[in-house]
Structure 1
Amino acid sequence: MSATPLLELRGIDKSFGPVQVLRDVTLSVHEGEVTALVGDNGAGKSTLVKCISGIHPTDSGEFLFEGRPVSVNSPRDAAALGIDVVYQDLALCDNLDIVQNMFLGRERSNGLVLDESAMEQMAAETLVSLGIRTVRFLRQHVASLSGGQRQTVAIAKAVLWNSRLVILDEPTAALGVAQTAQVLELVRRLADNGLAVVLISHNMNDVFAISDRIAALYLGQLVAQVRTTDITHAQVVELITSGRSGALGHAEPSALGTGSDATTWGAVR
């Protein structure tokens, strides 16, 4: 693993009108690692991801990629860097098959017709490279897939386009035990193959099972980023709920304010 983070955010602020959603967020994400981004509802996780992916412009702060300052003002800018987000709704089309979904909007053509064989080959190679064995027929419609299979297709779609950083928003939500295990194995494999992975999850068992680092957001501030082996389950819960756990987090629990200010923050995710 390189000592230089693939992605580094420094002092990121973001407000929507009078409501400040992110305050001085500093985050580093390394290749070959899974960084779990945790926080309660209203902590700012979704807003931070949308800033990274270019959906929301930041108000201030630095955005570095491979140690170089860059500007990410749109999803196109993020995609050019190799940043891809797999949202909880997966953004898959039920009426299309696996290959069509993986190439949606980026279809390969041979003259005036689609190059179906090339797309099938690329899709198959991607699935094989990720060790995905739960999908048996590439022309199967997504509507007929299980929740776990849908998640693997969405992740494979991101990897197909040479992504270097994949952000996964609650990838195991609403999955059964067996399907969750399959998806977690795939997420771990992404990092083992050299990609940087950011995992957003409320499931602490998942977080501790596959993450290398844990970054905790509390009311819009990143209160701690530590190696998973250096923190306990109870400490993570304390960081999520109070922004502080022993020497970790805020020096003073009241640093973010109380009363109406805290109520306003709680309304933002």
Structure 2
Amino acid sequence: MIHVSATPVLALRGVSKRFGAVQALTDVELEIHPGEVVALVGDNGAGKSTLVKTIAGVHPIDEGVIEWKGRKVRIDKPHDSQDLGIATVYQDLALCDNLDVVANLFLGSELRRAGVINEVAMEKRAQQLLDTLSIRIPSVRIPVASLSGGQRQVVAIARALVGDPEVVILDEPTAALGVEQTAQVLDLVERLRERGLGVILISHNMADVKAVADQVAVLRLGRNNGVFPVRTTSHEQIIAAITGATDNAVTRRQARTTEAGR
């Protein structure tokens, strides 16, 4: 994998976030480069959702710096994040079942001509977008309610791309999907990388992470607990970082067995 530039498109430097007495994130560092998929993993309560919401502008950070292409930026609300070029696809998708694919893709950002919604232009752009991403659905005019889970997920990702973002955050995109549908979504993630986008993939599924991620960033109790290159890191090493075994149970056990062997 070749980085387009040494400067990350998005970087978190020493980011912390509190909710009242609860310290949700402490001194978190994260870098996303163009054309790179970074998997964000960790146990429930590790701070993954909070971290994503700080980048998406839902929870402004308390301390630290967010950088966009090397310059410091403020992300205080979702619009700030979107205006920079960050798109977030949440787990609940927020698609409108009764509307067709075209209407869902352009919801809130409809194309207009002389003040009137331009259905023809939207349909054409929708078809082009789905084609470039190799997304196969029966028709862009069928209601979203009639799509499979995998198709719904790829439509939600396609919708995030309507505004030409440079970073896409995917929150558990394969959580409720079967094998074939999961493959469809992972294929799309690879196409996002090929297009030079930076992707943050939140996932509990290590097989998915191994399949498409370049780097795995582990959060534990709201702090960084390692960034690992996927190709050269074992499943066990990542699990150990997630559970915290790296600095307690495993090392203690190794120390015991070494002493016993003396």
TM-score normalised by length of structure 2: 0.91
Match of 1:206 among 182, 205, 208: 208
Q: Distance in 2 between matches of 1:113 and 1:27?
A: 43
The code of the aligned residue for 1:70 comes to V
Aligned to 2:157: 155
Partner of 2:68: 65
- The percentage of counterpart residues that share the same residue type is 56
Q: Give ranges in structure 2 of 5+ residues lacking alignment.
A: 249-262
Number of the residue aligned with 2:141 = 139
* CA–CA distance in structure 1, aligned partners of residues 161 and 221 of structure 2: 32
Report the Cα distance in structure 2 between the residues aligned to 1:212 and 1:143, rounded to whole angstroms. 34
Tell me, yes or no, if the aligned pair for 1:223 and 1:244 is still in contact at 8 Å: no
Q: Distance in 2 between matches of 1:230 and 1:62?
A: 30
Shift of 1:9: 0.4
Q: Paired residue for 1:190, among 189, 192, 199?
A: 192
- Counterpart secondary structure, 2:64: strand
The equivalent of 1:265 in structure 2 is none
Cα distance change on mapping 1:201 and 1:245 into 2, 3 Å:
farther
Work out the CA distance in 2 between the residues paired with 1:79 and 1:112. 24
Contact 1:235 / 1:245 at 8 angstroms: preserved in 2?
no
Q: Match of 2:178, as an amino acid?
A: G
Task: Read off the aligned partner of 2:228 and give its amino acid letter.
Answer: V
Question: Where do 5+ consecutive residues of structure 1 fail to align?
Answer: 247-269
Q: Secondary structure at the match of 1:238?
A: helix
Equivalence for 1:219: 221
Q: Which residue of 2 aligns with 1:100?
A: 103
RMSD over aligned Cα atoms: 1.1
1:230 is displaced (CA, Å) by 2.5
| Aligned residues between the structures | 245
Tell me, in whole angstroms, the C-alpha distance in 1 between the residues paired with 2:221 and 2:227. Answer: 15
**Structure 1 residue 49 and structure 2 residue 62: aligned?**
no
Contact 1:223 1:243 in 2 (8 A): no
